[in-house]
C-alpha cells in the first residue's frame, strides 16, 4: 500500500457495533418511556375519578367540574412550558405554544 492509497471504512460502519453499556442505556430508556406512559394513564384515571367525586360531593354538575378542573388539567402542561420559556427569555416559544394550542383547539372543536 502506498502513501496515496488509503483504505477508508464506510461511513457509519463503526456505529453498527454497540457496546453492552449502550445497549443497557437503550433498554433503560425504553423501560422509562413504558413506565412513564403507564404512570400517565393511571394518574389521568385517578384525576378524572377525583374530579367526578368532587363534583358529586359539592353537588355540582359533572359537566361544570369537567370544564373547570379537567380543562385546567389539560392546559397546565402548556402553561408550564410557556412559563419556563418566558422565564428563560424565549418569548417566541411561549407565543408559539399559545398560538399552536389555540389553533389546534379550534381545529379539533370546529372540525
Q: Tell me, yes or no, whether 28 lies in a domain.
A: yes
Q: Tell me, yes or no, whether 10 lies in a domain.
A: no
| Cβ neighbours for 91, distance < 8 A, ≥ 6 positions apart | 85
CA distance 63 to 31: 37
Give the pLDDT confidence of 75-97 residue by residue, as tens digits: 888 888 888 988 998 888 888 88
| pLDDT confidence tier of residue 2, bands split at 50, 70 and 90 | low
- Domain with 90 in it: 19-110
pLDDT at 14 over 80: no
Give the pLDDT confidence of 26-76 residue by residue, as tens digits: 899 999 999 999 999 999 889 888 888 888 898 888 788 778 877 787 788
pLDDT at 10 over 80: no
CA distance 91 to 36: 29
Cα angle 92-96-98, degrees, rounded to a multiple of 5: 120
Q: Tell me, yes or no, whether 69 lies in a domain.
A: yes
Q: Tell me, yes or no, whether 8 lies in a domain.
A: no
- For residue 107, the surrounding DSSP H or E stretch is helix 91-110
The number of folded domains in the chain is: 1
Q: Tell me, yes or no, whether 58 lies in a domain.
A: yes
Q: What is the largest CA-CA distance in the chain?
A: 89
Per-residue confidence (pLDDT) for residue 36, from 0 to 100: 94
Entry pTM: 0.50
Amino acid at each position: 500500500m502506498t502513501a496515496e492509497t488509503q483504505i477508508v471504512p464506510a461511513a457509519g460502519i463503526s456505529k453498527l457495533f454497540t457496546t453492552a453499556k449502550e445497549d443497557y442505556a437503550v433498554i433503560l430508556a425504553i423501560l422509562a418511556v413504558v413506565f412513564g406512559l403507564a404512570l400517565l394513564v393511571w394518574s389521568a384515571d385517578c384525576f378524572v375519578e377525583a374530579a367526578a367525586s368532587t363534583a358529586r360531593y359539592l353537588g355540582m354538575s359533572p359537566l361544570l367540574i369537567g370544564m373547570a378542573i379537567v380543562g385546567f388539567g389539560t392546559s397546565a402542561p402548556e402553561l408550564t412550558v410557556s412559563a419556563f420559556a418566558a422565564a428563560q427569555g424565549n418569548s417566541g416559544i411561549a407565543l408559539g405554544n399559545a398560538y399552536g394550542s389555540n389553533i389546534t383547539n379550534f381545529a379539533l372543536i370546529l372540525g
